[in-house]
Structure 1
């Protein structure tokens, strides 16, 4: 996707609100700038990276540069080295001067942390922040025997419909089973033949950070189009209200409440657009809007304008944190 090019301002002119830092648009970087804002709002990632000893790590290491830029974004008086992070991505095949999909870049960054961090237990802790454990099942409709396979996702890819939709509706559709009949019949070991069956996915566990990707793009007839239809989502929701058929019998979890803390927004169409973000500030729990170098206070009412509609920016990725809202942190005083 293409993006609009914004004027480049020096970091000293960027506006700071309780540590919220703007990032200049550098070689079509609004996609990565937006993701950096969401990683900064997901403070658990920066806290874990701060524990990583990096004395012998190469300069083009993506997680090293992510550690540096997130630390700088927390410091009200420090230059933000996000260009170094962009160049590290460029050297690892996420190229500058190229249009990217935010969800694909997000997953690539998580993958680089697994591949390039020499502290593997710490890398696994970061991955576990986002890991959704699922059980894929295949049940024979003749003998009712069940085959299962356990795997994991780093985000929920939810397809939206072409009319009014909601996050709850999208999640319900994701966990609905499909019947496989006729030429789609699968082999059943108990029956010794191909039989009609039903296939679906159940949750085994949910992560601290639940990333939701609203799949607004459709491919057909040789081109890609974007769905601008309305998709509502709540500021908080309770996963215990998820339909029973979506939960595995082995699911064990005490806390089900999730609170939204970041929204990746896409404006434009599938071939030409721009990324921005709404993020919740850890210190005062207020909403802020980040558009490259420009950061300004916002509100939940403004976040709701990203539900969709013609000629509007639409929510593309949602980041929810498990548990109640964080306590407001007081700004650190410099000596």
Structure 2
């Protein structure tokens, strides 16, 4: 319990060192991004989604200034390239073909390869690769700030229903909660699938106290540290590449207070801030994103094209299926 509390306090302190203010980020700057190869919709949708999380923007701009870059070659520094793209987006209101071509070359220089001959890839795979590459490029003290406001810290708690003893195990810190949507929850929402993911019953578990291994045990995943930016992926693609397009109601707000672990005093209320959507199948498809800007207006980004949308359009499964969701913490 002590280690869990210490980790939570440390993460909260580091996360709070980065502001989440929209100040200086003007809605008029929001633009689309050219698909320079015809197969980079996955990257454009990801960049639009994360560039609309003020905490990520502030961290990129504040913690990796050009004069403090430690790379042997600043021209090929991944963090400098992403930071430069953020600055171009919000300060200049334009991301040029040259800037996108440059970052594509730098991604390849650092080892990124799309998983198909066509050059298409998955935005979550791109995010995982990007953040891992940034971890390798930045000092631990700097990247730990990112992990503090992006990662979910969990504790696995197994309760014996016979003697009521609780067994606790420190869980991993996860950047993204990947929610299985099979089997179905009839009429299910993100909230419903999240509840099933965080609460389950297990068999063949031996209680540490009464040694019972026959009765059913309840296992909860409790949140010891809640991130400022919560990422949820709906697991629509199986290992065979088949896509599950079942409708899932997207909650505009989530309250995770019921899953709070002891010692966690953070606000657990979240509001939807961006959605990455997909159409097609695992072999051939297209990604777009929608995000809420500094003015509270939702816009859809389809590569170069930007269009104002209502929240109802954003969360609907018409034409494009919601796939990756970003939520920002609401302060109490």
| Interval containing the TM-score (normalised by the shorter chain) | 0.7 to 0.9
Structure 2 residue aligned with 1:260: 272
What do residues 131-172 of structure 1 show as CA deviations (whole Å, max 9, x unaligned)? 111001344566554432223111211111445320111111
The Cα shift of 1:62 comes to 2.4
Q: Determine the C-alpha separation between the residues in 1 that align with 2:292 and 2:131.
A: 21
Correspondence 1:174 to 2:197: yes
Pairing partner for 1:236 from 217, 230, 253: 253
Instruction: Point out the structure with the larger helix share.
Output: 2
Q: Determine the C-alpha separation between the residues in 2 that align with 1:316 and 1:77.
A: 27
Structure 2 residue aligned with 1:292: 303
Using structure 2 for the length normalisation, give the TM-score.
0.79
Pairing partner for 2:149 from 129, 142, 161: 129
Structure 2 residue aligned with 1:73: 89
What do residues 221-259 of structure 1 show as CA deviations (whole Å, max 9, x unaligned)? xx332111111112233333xxx4x33233322x23322
The Cα shift of 1:286 comes to 0.8
Structure 1 residue aligned with 2:59: 48
Structure 1 residue aligned with 2:23: none
Q: Determine the C-alpha separation between the residues in 2 that align with 1:79 and 1:201.
A: 41
Pairing partner for 2:232 from 212, 236, 240: 212
The Cα shift of 1:85 comes to 2.0
The Cα shift of 1:195 comes to 6.0
Relative to structure 1, is the Cα distance of residues 304 and 139 closer, same or farther in structure 2, using a 3 angstrom cutoff? closer
Structure 2 residue aligned with 1:249: 262
Correspondence 1:18 to 2:28: yes
Aligned length in residues = 292
Structure 2 residue aligned with 1:36: 47
Asked whether the 8 Å contact 2:191–2:254 carries over to 1, the reply is: no
Q: Determine the C-alpha separation between the residues in 2 that align with 1:39 and 1:116.
A: 19
What do residues 15-36 of structure 1 show as CA deviations (whole Å, max 9, x unaligned)? x961112211123111011111
Relative to structure 1, is the Cα distance of residues 50 and 214 closer, same or farther in structure 2, using a 3 angstrom cutoff? same
What do residues 9-58 of structure 1 show as CA deviations (whole Å, max 9, x unaligned)? xxxxxxx9611122111231110111110121012212112222344423
Using structure 1 for the length normalisation, give the TM-score.
0.78
Pairing partner for 1:160 from 155, 174, 181: 181
Pairing partner for 2:315 from 300, 304, 316: 304
The Cα shift of 1:268 comes to 0.8
Asked whether the 8 Å contact 1:142–1:195 carries over to 2, the reply is: no
Over the aligned positions, Cα root-mean-square deviation in angstroms equals: 2.6
